[in-house]
């Protein structure tokens, strides 16, 4: 289990994700829910 971050996400971090999704690097990303929330939401892995 990953440790949760205790800090807020910076706008630049969201912009980095948007830039990735808009780039050719994400060509194989299909139907993914990409969360940028610092691990606040608990998930089951």
* Cβ atoms of residues 13 and 7 within 8 Å: no
Confidence (pLDDT) at 25: 95
Reading the block at residue 15, the tokens are 């912009």
pLDDT digits (tens, 9 = 90+) for 2-45: 556 667 888 999 999 999 999 999 999 998 888 887 777 776 65
Confidence (pLDDT) at 19: 96
């Amino acid at each position: 289990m990953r440790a949760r971050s205790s800090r807020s996400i910076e706008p630049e971090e969201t912009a980095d994700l948007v830039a990735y999704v808009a780039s050719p690097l994400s060509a194989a990303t299909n139907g993914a829910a990409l969360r940028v929330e610092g691990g606040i939401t608990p998930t089951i892995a």
